[in-house]
Amino acid sequence: MAAATAVLWRIRLGSAVRAAVACSIVGGVTLFGPAPVRQMLTFSAFSYVTAISTVLSDAVTFGHAVRAGFHVACAVALVLVSSVPCLWLIGPARFDRWAASLAVAVSGFVVALLERAHLLTKRIAFGQLVIVYVGTVINGGETSFFMHPLRVASSTAAGAIAAAVAMIIPYPRLSSCQMKTLGKVYRENVCERVGILVQVFGAKSKAEAATSIAEVKSLSTMGTKLLHMIKTNMRGMDWERPRIGHGRLNRVAVAEKLEEFEVAVRGMEFALTSPSFAFETMDEELCNLPKNLKPRLILKLQQLKCSVPASATTAPETKGLFPDTWPLGSSPIIPQNMPPSFFLRCVKILLYDSTAAARTLVYRVENGRRANGEEAIDLGEHGTKNTRRAILSNMLPTNQSLRFALKCSITLGLAVFLGLVYTKPNGYWSGLTVAISFATERQATFTVANARAQGTAIGSIYGVICCFILQKYEYLWILPLIPWVAFTSFLVHSRMYGQGGGISSALGALLVLGRKNYGIPSEFANARITEACIGLLCFVTVEVVFNPTRSATLAKAEFSKSLRALQDCIRRVILIPQKNLNNESSILLELIEQHKFLKSHVAQLEKFIVEAGYEPNFWFTPFQGSCYDKLLKSLQKTVDILQFLVHEMRLLSLELNRYGHVVKELHDSLSEDMELFSIKVQRSLKFMEKASLVKSLKQLQNKNQNQSDEMEMGKSQNDGCRALGLSEEEVEKIVGSFRQNANEILSKVYTNDEGEANLKGQMTLCLSSVGFCMECLMRETMVMEKEVLQLLKLENPSIHMNLQELSTQINAHQTQ
């Protein structure tokens, strides 16, 4: 843990030093460079903006700087192509604040409408447009229609070049080197977690295991951060060593492999924290099995590759690691044996990478789509017609891109106009503040605006104080920038300021200390803070108009969508009949795609929950963050368990269908158990989906007045509250029936011969894991159901009802 923390701090400190070097390069060239160079770099402020926007991010390497340079070049080309003809046609002398606002708005709309353009390209282009047209208003007829945009482009390029140079001084900061360091630390983190979990497996009591499991949870948080940084650095490697062909798919395959290993480790934790895990009555031979496998397991994990190999979809399997005789092979499946079986199944995934077949299938399909075109999957008799329609639809802008373009256009135009009205010489800053604030995805508007305003203020104040202290040594003003830029690079990773606040804080000081000939520093700082607030006010106003829905409301709707996606996943988890075995690959692929769809919804829900936590409540009902956090935790666990269940059901289907009519009746019995499990869980999820969309319990009470009267009169409502939900008895009944049928299959198909002992043990492990997954999913569904009812109760404090009455009211409304 300490080693991983130290590595993260070293990486962030390295980023801070590189950011300071990049800004020092810009300052040195624009302040003390040759006269011809300084004459071309007249807009040093935007050089700082470009450099800071490049180097202050989660993980910056030379590959990321090269990629940012490419996006900056695209932005420069866009602005030159659009602004030079505009200035030539209208004439710089005829430009006023109305013309500048209209030109920025129209040009910004066109740039924002380009769907394939990167967000950094759009932000840099917005900033250049503001400088070009506002600068034309300020300088009037003295402005050259060609040289003015060219100087803006040169200043922009200087920032990108400085960022790239900073990544190779004093030695190259390469993504591949970062990957080696992060990969080593991540492997150590996984090995430490697995080692602790193996020790916990042999614990004598739950109290003894609790402390170690808490340590594992802490290590898991660090492992998630490391995994995120590894994925980020993979994108930089593509620009350091361009790969022809399937480089991106290889990167995705490696990322998915690492994610599956992470899920397997979490699965081991799920097994140990299961209520039915009986530490006290564990068989000694079973306790010792993971301990005996631990050295080989650690060795396997230490060989885990985090880089992108030439073929990332295949990995050598380690044979002969598991014993031929299984401790569970001769005993029937009982409730106490299911969690240990699932634990051993997760160990096997780590040892054999047994989920590689599914990744290979997806990889082949992606290759096929890449070779034949994405639309080739759905082509029928009218293939050419459908292809043309697909190409035409890809060329036309979507509603989302139109909304984003319109939002950017209005915000930029309004900010530029009001900025020029307030003060003409400093009219740049309102538009520039807005230009670097846009995001294609939804963001916490008030939080971002507040962080940027605070960052601008503290950066400007720091600059003014340094100017006052060094007022007799103006040539030394650049020196205080180095520690400040390094400090703000750490602010980028803070919750309070984030990336927006950190960048604004750095720019606040850079624009005061890193330039000359702009007037009195204190007056400039005051004017810029005011201009920045004008721009942020425009940003917040337009965002609220275009996105009036609160994040809390979106989180509620996204939770409902996640439940619907979970229902679709549960419905597709079935035993594959023998007649459909030839379509096994397509069924598996469909289920994997649906699982990814569910995972994306849960990830979006997490973003909305975080955003809603920062959002002011105003006069609305307070956001119940604790309830949503518990629901999110249950959903994330459900997603992980489903990933195991998909894999186990595939293996179980293939194994059972090998025996044909021998186990046909038992196959049908297991299918009935799975179908009953699916129906019960879907009903409960459907109930929660309806409950999560209830706006007012008072209205619900009025609609169900008859049912409420019956409750007051004492009429029977015993089954009403559980009509559509799950109960503990139903869970035990479904899992018990599955265990019984599974034991019949084991006794009927496999003998106790020594040759079939290992095969029987494997099948026991698989069936036990399926039963454990079913039980986990049903119990997590019950937890979510209870939490949804608790959420409704907290959102309607004036309605005094217990959870049972709430459930009855919702069920009564749903069954009407």
pLDDT per position as a tens digit, 197-207: 988 888 878 88
Judge contact between 103 and 135, C-beta under 8 A.
Answer: no
pLDDT of residue 61: 86
pLDDT at 2 over 80: no
Q: Is residue 462 part of a domain?
A: yes
Q: Is residue 372 part of a domain?
A: no
pLDDT of residue 101: 93
Instruction: Determine the 3-state secondary structure of 151 from DSSP.
Output: helix
Question: Are 14 and 104 within one domain?
Answer: yes
Q: Report which of residues 433 and 798 the model is more confident about.
A: 433
Mean pLDDT along residues 568-576: 82
H or E element at residue 441:
none
Tens of pLDDT, residue by residue over 676-686, are 999 999 989 98
Question: Are 538 and 573 within one domain?
Answer: no
pLDDT of residue 778: 93
CA distance 515 to 217: 49
Q: How far is CA 667 from CA 644, 655, 673, 737, 748, in A?
A: 20, 11, 10, 13, 12
Q: Average pLDDT, whole number, for the chain?
A: 81
Tens of pLDDT, residue by residue over 64-95, are 899 999 999 999 999 999 999 999 988 888 88
Q: Report which of residues 365 and 56 the model is more confident about.
A: 56
Q: Is residue 345 part of a domain?
A: yes
The answer to which of 145-159, 539-553, 736-750 has the lowest mean pLDDT is 736-750
Q: Name the band, by pLDDT with cuts 50, 70 and 90, for residue 795.
A: confident
Question: Are 419 and 517 within one domain?
Answer: yes
pLDDT of residue 547: 85
DSSP summary character for residue 622: P
Query: Residue 801 phi/psi, 5° resolution?
Result: -140, 145
CA distance 744 to 38: 85
- H helix and E strand count, the chain: 29, 0
Q: Name the band, by pLDDT with cuts 50, 70 and 90, for residue 663.
A: low
Q: What is the DSSP string of 483-546?
A: HHHHHHHHHTTSTTTHHHHHHHHHHHHHHHHS--SSS-HHHHHHHHHHHHHHHHHHHHHHHHHH
Q: 669: which 2 tokens?
A: 């019995």
Mean pLDDT along residues 583-611: 86
Mean pLDDT along residues 729-750: 85
Q: How far is CA 393 from CA 277, 402, 702, in A?
A: 54, 14, 47
CATH code, domain with 612: 1.20.58
How far, rounded to the nearest angstrom, does the alpha carbon of residue 806 sit from its chain's CA centroid?
34
Question: Are 181 and 168 within one domain?
Answer: no
Query: Residue 597 phi/psi, 5° resolution?
Result: -65, -45
Q: 506: which 2 tokens?
A: 């750095």
Mutual angle of helices 445-469 and 521-546, in 10-degree steps: 180
pLDDT of residue 535: 92
CB atoms within 10 A of CB 706: 8
Q: Name the band, by pLDDT with cuts 50, 70 and 90, for residue 313.
A: very low
CA distance 764 to 707: 48
Q: Name the band, by pLDDT with cuts 50, 70 and 90, for residue 324.
A: very low
Closest to 301 (Cα-Cα) out of 257, 341, 363: 257
Q: Name the band, by pLDDT with cuts 50, 70 and 90, for residue 106.
A: very high
Alpha helices in 314-382 (DSSP H): 338-352, 356-372
Question: Are 733 and 584 within one domain?
Answer: yes
The residues, ordered by sequence, that sit 6+ positions from 363 with a Cβ below 8 Å of its Cβ are 249, 253, 313
The answer to which of 2-16, 464-478, 499-513, 801-815 has the lowest mean pLDDT is 801-815
Question: Which pairs with CB-CB distance under 8 Å and at least 24 residues apart come from 396-399?
Answer: 397/113, 397/115, 398/115
**What does the CA dihedral 88, 92, 93, 98 come to, rounded to 10 degrees?**
110
Question: Are 692 and 742 within one domain?
Answer: yes
Q: Name the band, by pLDDT with cuts 50, 70 and 90, for residue 335.
A: confident
Q: To the nearest whole percent, how much of the chain has pLDDT over 70?
A: 80
Closest to 448 (Cα-Cα) out of 503, 530, 506: 503
Question: Are 332 and 432 within one domain?
Answer: no
Question: Are 335 and 203 within one domain?
Answer: yes
CA distance 180 to 234: 11
CA distance 742 to 763: 9
> Is it true that the peptide bond before 170 is cis, omega within 30 degrees of 0?
yes
pTM of the model: 0.84
Mean pLDDT along residues 20-32: 89
H or E element at residue 560:
helix 551-572
Q: To the nearest whole percent, how much of the chain has pLDDT over 90?
A: 24
Q: Is residue 83 part of a domain?
A: yes
Q: Is residue 458 part of a domain?
A: yes
Closest to 299 (Cα-Cα) out of 325, 320, 323, 318: 318
Q: 267: which 2 tokens?
A: 């699965």
Q: Is residue 7 part of a domain?
A: yes
Q: Is residue 382 part of a domain?
A: no
pLDDT of residue 310: 41
To which residue do tokens 């000694």 refer?
284
Q: Report which of residues 317 and 87 the model is more confident about.
A: 87
Mean pLDDT along residues 408-434: 91
pLDDT of residue 558: 93
CB atoms within 10 A of CB 99: 16
* Domain end call among 500, 526, 546: 546
Domain that holds residue 261: 177-307+327-352
Closest to 633 (Cα-Cα) out of 270, 208, 272: 270
CA distance 776 to 783: 10
Judge contact between 124 and 53, C-beta under 8 A.
Answer: yes
DSSP summary character for residue 276: T
**Amino acid code (one letter) for 372:** N
CA distance 661 to 719: 40
pLDDT at 388 over 80: no
Judge contact between 528 and 541, C-beta under 8 A.
Answer: no
Judge contact between 695 and 760, C-beta under 8 A.
Answer: no
Question: Are 741 and 648 within one domain?
Answer: yes
Q: What is the 3-state secondary structure (H, E, C) of 722-769?
A: CCCCCCHHHHHHHHHHHHHHHHHHHHHHCCCCHHHHHHHHHHHHHHHH
Q: How many domains does the chain have?
A: 3
pLDDT of residue 312: 42
CB atoms within 10 A of CB 766: 20
Question: Are 486 and 595 within one domain?
Answer: no
Question: Are 164 and 181 within one domain?
Answer: no
pLDDT of residue 717: 46
- Straight-line distance from the first to the last Cα atom of the chain, in angstroms, rounded to the nearest whole number: 55
Question: Are 423 and 527 within one domain?
Answer: yes
Mean pLDDT along residues 777-799: 86
* Domain end call among 546, 573, 602: 546
Mean pLDDT along residues 371-387: 43
* Domain end call among 546, 571, 595: 546
Q: Is residue 318 part of a domain?
A: no
Q: Name the band, by pLDDT with cuts 50, 70 and 90, for residue 179.
A: confident
pLDDT at 316 over 50: no
**Amino acid code (one letter) for 405:** A
CA distance 214 to 388: 57
